[in-house]
Amino acid sequence: MSARPCSKVACSEQAVATLTYVYADSMAVLGPLSVRHEPHSYDLCAKHAERLAPPKGWSVIRHVIAGDPGN
């Protein structure tokens, strides 16, 4: 998998997570970096993934990798 940049404007860090919005369920899903870039998702660096704040009234599901010492 080749490195991809964070989707946030002016951020030059490498992405480590992928964010997808499920509009029908008012939900944001944040998980490990996807294998390839998906056109309707956002790749985020560690800082932006940690600071993720969903739209008001939405819920967030954070998928973590079992055994990852950072979790």
pLDDT digits (tens, 9 = 90+) for 56-65: 999 999 987 6
Instruction: Break the chain into its structural domains and give their ranges.
Output: 1-66
Q: How do strand 17-22 and strand 27-32 relate by DSSP bridges?
A: antiparallel
Distance of CA 34 to the CA centre of its chain: 9
Which pLDDT value is given to residue 2? Answer: 62
Which pLDDT value is given to residue 62? Answer: 94
pTM score of the predicted model: 0.83
Give CA separation, 70 vs 4, 17, 27, 29, 60, in Å. 20, 13, 24, 18, 19
Which pLDDT value is given to residue 65? Answer: 65
